[in-house]
Structure 1
């Protein structure tokens, strides 16, 4: 048993060293952006659709807006659908309420399993940070409307999830939301980021 543990520890250390070496040699893409049209974003956010002007330089595949999806090479798609401010009426008796100097918000996202095998959601991580002037967020527990990302998604199915956070009001209302994949299909490439406004 001890020898088996030692072999496992050595193998893990070797894998980490190999990953670090590979990262130093350059990152490969792990998927592609699937950008929502102006009309689709308007439906999601309630804004008026605008005519899109050709950009001088295309956005990186990992820099996304609310409504955009990121499809991994194995067919799994992650889409941030909405960022909303949490109102006072959304807290229960035992929920974590933010300080008066903070803005509480909820990020909504969908995970569609376009691969051929079950997707373990426990092997994913998500983070939110302020985008205006930086700013660390604090995770909140707000039971009403919350949908924790956990368990598995079967092939061909879509799950909808939320994350609840607070951000100091001094750091504005723009946030960057990042999804990090840590399963066997994970890559050392940059993680996809969604930038959006708390509304």
Structure 2
């Protein structure tokens, strides 16, 4: 009995410490693209002082569930992740690849080729070394792996440095098996001195257009 109680106590402490660590390690905040988004419908008055009749309250409130705030690291295409030091990353588009150069890789017949485009704004006071940043992708439907394509036409590799106050635009070209759908998850990882390696990396989820 005492052994089981001790194990339960340890488990509770571990969970608490993990939660605290997650709360303490945040690389930045989400800046969501809300322009043009439909206005949310008015929520029913479900509070203790509601003026709804009992039948109306049951109809409108009994099955209502509060909307959880989306984590800052879970974003959509068009959203921006603003790092604590002033750097900002925006995934601007996920487009189907339709134009190739003579020597460019092409997706197989059972794959969808696409290009991810993003911008990085250096809002810090120091140059950003792009060799300390990386972008990765995977299928969002069932976690399918993507195949990297070597494409020169229209491509802009994430290399070099971005001066303070300047913006860089970069791309990555890949292919996803059609059996894995057309929605992907993009992860941006930062590994320079300003990065918090214990914090969650930002992720963008979107469909290939």
State TM-score, norm by structure 2: 0.76
Map 1:10-21 → 2, pairs under 5 A: none
The CA RMSD measured in Å over matched residues stands at 1.9
Q: Find 1:179's aligned residue among 174, 188, 208.
A: 188
**Among 63, 75, 81, which residue is 2:74 paired with?**
63
Summarize the Cα distance change of 1:24–1:34 in structure 2 as closer, same or farther, 3 Å threshold.
closer
Counterpart mapping for 1:1-199 below 5 A: 26-27=21-22, 28-39=25-36, 49-52=37-40, 56-87=67-98, 90-187=99-196, 188-199=198-209
3-state SS of 1:122 partner: helix
Shift of 1:163: 0.6
Runs of 4+ aligned structure 1 residues displaced above 6 Å come to none
State the SS of the aligned residue for 2:21. coil
TM-score, normalised to structure 1's length?
0.80
- Secondary structure (helix, strand or coil) at the match of 1:170 reads helix
Question: May I ask how many residue pairs the two structures share in their alignment?
Answer: 167
Secondary structure at the aligned position of 2:131 is classed as helix
1:38–1:52 Cα contact (<8 Å) kept: no
**Contact 1:74/1:114 (CA < 8 Å) preserved in 2?**
yes
Aligned-partner Cα distance in 2 for 1:38–1:51: 10
Deviations 1:36-67 (A, max 9, x none): 0141xxxxxxxxx4334587111000000000
SS in structure 2 opposite 1:26? Answer: helix
Larger Rg: 2
Equivalent-residue separation in structure 2 for 1:25 and 1:181 (angstroms): 22
